[in-house]
Structure 1
């Protein structure tokens, strides 16, 4: 249960462990957050949830989901302002709860980020093929073309991240700007075709689902429901998953100028902006088509076709392709920083913590992550396992919320750049909201997650426990090439 001393985590800012160049400013962090939070789902999730789960009440679902995610974001903001390290939740847990729990969170983050990169790359390939066919171009052997596109996009984006944070940042600015232009066009054009009658009554009478219970919540109640208030809250759980990604902004803390102040602002601002954008698209979606007539597979595209604005389909396709491209890019960046931190602490091979002298970035671990993402996307049916990404994220959310409460008691003297208001009430509400999201996941997802964590614990006992830097408190430690030395 050995814990990383707070001075070691915060020592990053004094140069004792710092080995990554500072490249991010507050506006860059907002772009980073929008890059990962706004993907192709912005064009589909509102319509899908309105048609199948919440009806026009999906607008309320977006508000509820935004509040739940904001609670978690506030907790991340306080810990990131206190310990501005690239490990994010992994480092926070190392300091507050100890090494075993830090490993568990790091292992959960590996599940989240590595699987997410593979899942999104596979989805990106499918959407890209669909966009090509929407132009009337026949794509022979779509499966083979999809495999090639997955390989190309992951190699390209891995290369961009490996070349340095500045290169990736410039590419991200360009793609996020183009993506926001596409979303802006959807909102502006869509508003002109809104029929107020489609909003109707926000409350739609509930109906019992005929499918067997699949989620933990459905198993507990013995059956599932759609629509009604249960449907509104169930849709909020699904929608909250679309907002997830603000936590990755915290992994950039070590590379951010004036991180204790800038990181909290970047996280909160990006989440608020993303919530407003999602709400605007949801209002357009529900307003353009009655929830009883929404096409579940292509909600917005179908609505614009019904309105006779066929050219908007190509704008939506472009926005979706760009949206998923930026998501993959930021996921690779986040995964790189988490593994870099774990390697620097000795819990995984320390060779992965080396920093390229030429590019000033952890190139070696970046290439490893890219290779694993390609293998997963090409040879594993990752699209059927995407809930594993969500449960890994939510598990980290639990520890971050609990960490704010525990750190306030154990380490009240630590300097904080941001404080969660009304603590411990808001962190406790974040815990409750996160648990609600978790019980809305399938039982099968929980089973796979337990197996993954059990395997991870075995890896720690065999390797990490013995190779941890804290296991050798008097050994000199070098923080990668280009970094200084320190003693634990």
Structure 2
């Protein structure tokens, strides 16, 4: 076989499933997390900028009170992806999450694409959360009479209300508050997962308490007229109407990604087959209930057109007129968003750890600290990039980029379930997606993963159309950023990942007869 043909085949070489299922004991990561830790990890990742910040922006720019339907639509779409994640995570409890799932079922190139898309889901998500953190932190400082200069708390690129939604303009500032928050919150991750788990658990409990208090005290201040009309008449483009409801759903779609963070901790879970489904589906269910309650109270207190602010919950409490509650919510939001910053940086570092282990990224991303056994160099690099994005880009643009990455990632995960069911039907699956499936020419297609793929495509269609419209109307920045991100990923894979891939090298030696097939090695 020629070298060219070997290279072409290696694009789709698969990571041996048994090797993945074995958990890669040489990684050096400790199994220290139980089901409650994983549940809190998921809840801590889900509850963040989606409810503290983007609910207001989605209502003001797109859906009005109809944002309640947007949360239902986005949550419904995530259920199918969550079920698929649960099956794969219980079958392959290893570090790397969806990246490993794709590598074991679809091959190297799809795995690389998915791993690179996860940068949008984790790295960019962390930047978005930092921007939300900045808004509440500046508001909290103002309560003590400390005024932060606008140039230090607004991004270089700013989003402004415009016909059909919003547009982007260049500003004169850099959000150093957001950038500094990323670097500060990534620091505990350098000193061990146990420290992170303890800090995260405490913050998550406080964050839930803050939201519960907000709902309880805000319920009596709801003004029913604020829900009329429930879906405002369309004002052009994606501004209100059902068009706006679906556009808002695509914008807040990423707010549910916390359950995916749970799967990145598979290699550090004590009993992954049992604990991962509990963490994934449990966190999704808990957070959907919380999201709906908080969004209803928020919309009921403040007219939706006034909610395009960086701290909408604080604005709502200000309408209630309880100073102690206003202070409590601001403090809770600031502390609560810190757990998201840690979770996203943690998830991204573990995914790059797995990719570096396979040779697709430089070995610095998998180098463990001698004392704390954490991928410290990779964590520092990732946090620095997140800080740069947080300082330069607005929250609305970051949210759109993340949702595209999330939808693509979820689709590949659903496809991986279908592929693995057909290629390895005999393996043990402690958790299976329900409702079965159908066969086309002997190929099994599950109802749940198939509908999950459809829902993901359905979710991002309004977003893609909106970005295309913005580009044609003189606002091409989102499209340029997305194409640039894709281009950088392609260059890294072509000039480094594909050349240094360990699986690709093994396949080349296999063709020459130097090594045994993976199936023989693990028998």
Residues 2 and 229 of structure 1: CA distance in aligned 2, closer, same or farther (over 3 Å) = same
Q: Corresponding residue for 2:349?
A: 336
Given the alignment of the two structures, is residue 110 of structure 1 paired with residue 122 of structure 2, yes or no?
Answer: no
Matches of 2:121 and 2:149, distance apart in 1? 33
Give the alignment partner of residue 168 of structure 1, picking from 196, 199, 216.
196
CA drift at 1:104 = 1.2
User: Any residues of structure 2 matched to 1:356-435 within 5 Å, and which?
Assistant: 356-378=369-391, 380-381=392-393, 383=395, 385-386=397-398, 387-423=400-436, 424-435=446-457
| Distance in 1 of aligned mates of 2:301 and 2:292 | 14
1:376 deviates by 4.1
Given the alignment of the two structures, is residue 71 of structure 1 paired with residue 83 of structure 2, yes or no? no
In the aligned structure 2, how far is the partner of 1:90 from the partner of 1:140? Answer: 42
1:338-374 CA-to-partner distances (Å, cap 9, x unmatched) read 0110111111123432323321222232222223333
For the 8 Å contact 2:127–2:387, the answer to whether it is kept is: yes
2:28 is the counterpart of 1:28? no
Q: SS at 1:472's partner residue?
A: helix
Distance, in Å, in 2 between the alignment partners of 1:144 and 1:308 is 26
* Partner residue in 2 for 1:448: 481
Q: Work out which of the residue numbers 474, 486, 490 in structure 2 matches 1:457.
A: 490
Structure-2 change in CA distance of 1:199 and 1:360 (3 Å) = same
Deviation at 1:409, TM superposition (A): 1.3
Deviation string 1:164-209 (CA, Å, 9 cap, x unpaired) is 10001111112112211211110110112224454445354x3231
**Of 152, 155, 160, which residue of structure 1 is paired with 2:183?**
155
Distance in 1 between residues matched to 2:351 and 2:38, nearest whole Å: 17
Partner of 2:19: 8
Rounded to whole Å, the distance in 2 between the matches of 1:431 and 1:437 is 10
1:239-261 deviation per Cα after TM superposition (whole angstroms, max 9, x unaligned) = 32322232121101110011122
Structure-2-length-normalised TM-score: 0.81
- CA shift in 2, pair 1:7/1:138, >3 Å: same
Q: Which runs of 5+ in 2 are unaligned?
A: 1-11, 155-173, 437-445, 469-475, 510-519
1:32-69 CA distance string (max 9 Å, x none) = 11211111441344444444433433322222221111
| Cα distance in structure 2, aligned partners of 1:463 and 1:40 | 35
- In structure 2, what is the equivalent of residue 188 of structure 1? 216
Of 49-58 and 357-366, deviating more is 49-58
Q: Distance in 2 between matches of 1:25 and 1:41?
A: 26
Distance of 2:368 and 2:105 partners within structure 1: 27
The Cα offsets for residues 304-351 of structure 1, whole Å up to 9 and x where unpaired, read as 333333443222222221232111100111011001101111111234
**Aligned twin of 2:235:** 208
Query: Aligned equivalents of 1:286 and 1:382: distance in 2?
Result: 23
1:303 positional shift: 3.4
- Distance, in Å, in 2 between the alignment partners of 1:201 and 1:155 is 43
Aligned 1:101-140 pairs, distance under 5 A: 101-139=110-148
Alpha carbons of 1:201 and 1:121: their partners in 2 closer, same or farther (altered >3 Å)? closer
Alpha-carbon shift at residue 270 of structure 1 (Å): 0.6
Residue-pair matches, total = 459
Question: Gaps (5+ residues) in structure 1?
Answer: 210-223, 476-485
Instruction: Tell me by how many angstroms 1:385 deviates.
Output: 4.3
Does the 8 Å contact 1:115/1:382 carry over to 2? no
1:221-370 correspondence runs (5 A): 224-291=237-304, 294-297=306-309, 298-370=311-383
